[in-house]
Amino acid sequence: MSRSKAAHFVAVVCLWFSLYVYVPYQTPYLTGMGVAAGVVGAVIGAYGAMQIVLRIPLGVMADRLGRHRAIITAGVALGGAACVVRVLAPDEQGYLVASIISGCAASTWISFMVLYGQYYPPGKQQKATSIMVMACNLGMCLAFVFGTALYGFGGMPLLCTAGAVAGFAGVAASAFIRQDEGFSRGDAPSAAAVEAPAADAASAAAPPAARPGGFAAVRDLLSVCANRRLVLFAVLALVQQGVQMSTAMSFTTQILRDEGASAGFVGAASVFYMVAAVASAQFASTERCARRGPRFYVPLVFVLMGVYCVLVPAAGNIYAVFVLQALPGMSTGILLSYLTSESMVEVPPGKSSTAMGFFQAVYAVGMSLFPMIVGALAGWSSLGAGYAFLAAVSVAGALAAGAHYAAEARRTGR
């Protein structure tokens, strides 16, 4: 791995560590201070809302300016700055402002993904995507391990201080990232560029300054959001992220507590989930995984997510739920890697940031919407009803993916 790739990997780990080290403890911390549930919801929701609002405009800006390294540096700096705000203003107003800043930081994930993909030739884009997802999951995993081990010693001030240090360490790492390394200079055209119309290919090849200006250029970039394959896989990612955020990242911990699990056991279950996510993302980057490819793994992992949503509320045993955490780990590692790379197959290189912004904005809707639906169903009936809804949409995702690949096989004869 080159120095630029290594620095890129470290910056990703630092970004997601700074954004997640406090997450498992934020809600109990705020409620323990007497903050109203509605305000806590606004603090949590602001993080996702900023990503929904910012990701497409940021993608357009990245395609227009081509300044991915600057955006990456800004992202890790904002992640660290948000943690500083939490340390200096440890109340509901400070946490709301910090959550807005964190949402801005997370929105820069577009440039992390797009620039790293430029280090690899067209046939290795799935590997590049999987490595980035693995780095993201590793950052979250380290954050959960750190939080589980040290929250009892220093509380939220210690965790947020660690997040600030990680963010600014990421800024230092980003100084070693080179934007002109590898295939970003046009060493080899991507498959999307070869298949794209001549106008799109010419636009992709032109440097940012040579592209048309004004509204027409922005409209041309946004036209990629109508690509049917991009839309399909963005919606599938909405389902994947919505189910993950509603289960392993939130309500499964409540199920464990209701079953009598200790805080340490709940933390260990979250760490196990992230370890499984890191391991499965690493597997997704291997040739062994590529032999079967997305046609096999995308529907399969959606089905496994549905099985998880059926079994967790029915298990009645904290150790069984602990083991089942491996399934959403596979979803975060294998499934998200494939959904991301598959969404970009038909996207011209000059529009890749806009397309990635659209993809990530769509799945951010699932991160915000699905927990609200599950919470409403739990209030109306039970958590079992909420998980039944998640199982149904997981199976629907499997069927939609299977239908897509079956149609593709008929069209291509493969």
Average pLDDT of 254-265? 85
- pLDDT score at 214: 67
pLDDT band at 29 (very low <50, low <70, confident <90, very high): confident
- pLDDT, position 28: 76
Supply the pLDDT for residue 301. 96
First to last CA, the chain: 34
Listed in sequence order, the DSSP H helices in 33-91 are 37-65, 68-88
Weakest mean pLDDT among 7-21, 74-88, 110-124, 302-316: 110-124
Provide the pLDDT for residue 218: 82
Q: Predicted confidence band at 34 (pLDDT cuts at 50, 70, 90)?
A: confident
The two three-digit tokens of residue 314, written as one number = 């029915």
DSSP string, 140-155: HHHHHHHHHHHHHHHH
Task: Please name the amino acid found at residue 74.
Answer: A
Mean pLDDT of 193-208: 36
Q: Check residue 1 and give its pLDDT.
A: 67
CA-nearest of 23, 150, 43, 167 to 95 is 43
CA dist., res. 120 & res. 108, Å (int)? 20
According to the model, what pLDDT value does residue 210 have?
A: 42
- Single-letter code of the amino acid located at 256: L
Residue 315 burial class via C-beta count within 10 angstroms: exposed 0-12, middle 13-18, buried 19 and up: middle
pLDDT for the residue numbered 258: 86
**Beta carbons of 236 and 338 less than 8 angstroms apart:** no
Q: If pLDDT is split at 50, 70 and 90, which confidence band does 37 have? A: low
Query: What is the structure's pLDDT at 254?
Result: 80
Tens of pLDDT, residues 155-195 = 899 999 999 999 999 999 999 998 776 554 433 333 333 33
Indicate the pTM of the whole model: 0.82
Angle between helices 125-174 and 263-284 (to 10 degrees): 120
CA dist 214 and 257 (Å) reads: 54
Average pLDDT over residues 387-411: 95
